[in-house]
Amino acid sequence: MSGQAPVLWSFRRCPYAIRARLALSAAGLAVELREVSLQAKPAELLAVSPKGTVPVLEGPASSGRPVWVIEESLEVMHWALGQSDPQDLLRRGEPELARRSDELVAINDGTFKGHLDRFKYASRYPGADATAHRQAALAVLHRWNAALAAGISAGAGGWLLGSRPCLADLALLPFVRQFRLADPAGFDNEPGLGPLQHWLERFLASEAFSAVMGQQLRWRSPRFLYHLALAAEWDEAEAAGVYLRSTRGQSLEQVGFIHASWAHQLAATYQRFYADAGAVRLLTIDPDRLTAPLKLEPVPPGGERFPHLYGPLPIGAVLAVERYPA
């Protein structure tokens, strides 16, 4: 872990990671953001959090204190706002509002999320009635909408619990957004949902939300190997069950090994050999799954050492395949 700032392991679109980033930003805390692929979870993440979900906040050792880890998004939020809470999102002096905020979050993380998952990801839940779960999730949204409407009519509304945001606003936002992403027309045209629609629109247009949703370069583990492949050649390899290309325009049989790179070598390799190649795929490779010898060898003209795989690349050693550049 570099420097003394905590590391936040994150995935940009994950709603739990979004709300953790919102709280850290609201607290004004600096973190080292590591955007990861959930299909190719780095060993460094799994070492601190074996369950391999995000967000995970990893704090540095200091003053005799060992490295510490927070694995739940709500705990990350409370930790961040416990350090600094300039907006009083935790409502420290208003215990009843803090209790109601906690109740909203509990409903979101339990009832609402359960229905949302079975609506948005229906294929993962055989036998689930996606339409019924959508209606059940929508019923929860209408209850939240009623709370907003009541506050507005009382002259102190606009947020879930009054005239200014609380922790529940940040915690629920990514999940209401996820519902809308699953059914934009249905959400936008739902009768009687105006206050909640406005609440979401204001959030999505805010600088605070834009700040935590900016595109992040994927953090790539220095432990994994990386190989750039032409998209068509990778498709052929998947069909055959083995990859036999050395580099662009050359086969393993011609060269004798497959070219690979470490994370810090990727950009230069792409610019030198693949920038004009059209559709390119980046393969993330687990060296522990290789069956052929792997050697580090100098490459002219500068003699920088690159990993070379002296044999076929098994498809099972490839943890993730993505477009490159993203």
Per DSSP, 65 falls in state B
Judge if the upstream peptide bond of residue 325 is cis by omega within 30 degrees of 0. Answer: yes
Q: Which domains does the chain have, with CATH numbers?
A: 7-83 (3.40.30.10), 95-211 (1.20.1050.10), 225-323 (3.20.170.20)
Cα 202 off chain centre by? 23
Output the tens digit of pLDDT for each of the chain's 326 residues: 445 889 999 999 999 999 999 999 999 999 999 999 887 788 889 889 999 999 999 998 765 667 899 999 999 999 999 999 999 999 999 999 999 999 999 999 999 999 999 999 999 999 999 999 999 999 999 999 999 998 887 677 789 998 899 999 999 999 999 999 999 999 999 999 999 999 999 999 999 999 999 877 788 888 899 999 999 999 999 999 999 999 999 999 999 999 999 999 999 999 999 999 999 999 999 999 999 999 999 988 888 999 999 999 999 999 889 899 87
Q: What is the pTM assigned to this prediction? A: 0.80
Looking at residue 218, what is its pLDDT?
A: 82
Looking at residue 3, what is its pLDDT?
A: 52
Could you tell me the two tokens for 2?
């570099």
Looking at residue 219, what is its pLDDT?
A: 87
Looking at residue 1, what is its pLDDT?
A: 44
Question: 290 near 245, Cβ under 8 Å?
Answer: no
pLDDT tens figures, 23-55: 999 999 999 999 998 877 888 898 899 999 999
Maximum separation of any 2 CA atoms in the chain, in Å:
77
**Shortest CA distance to 293 belongs to which of 306, 307, 311?**
311
**Shortest CA distance to 159 belongs to which of 138, 173, 174?**
173
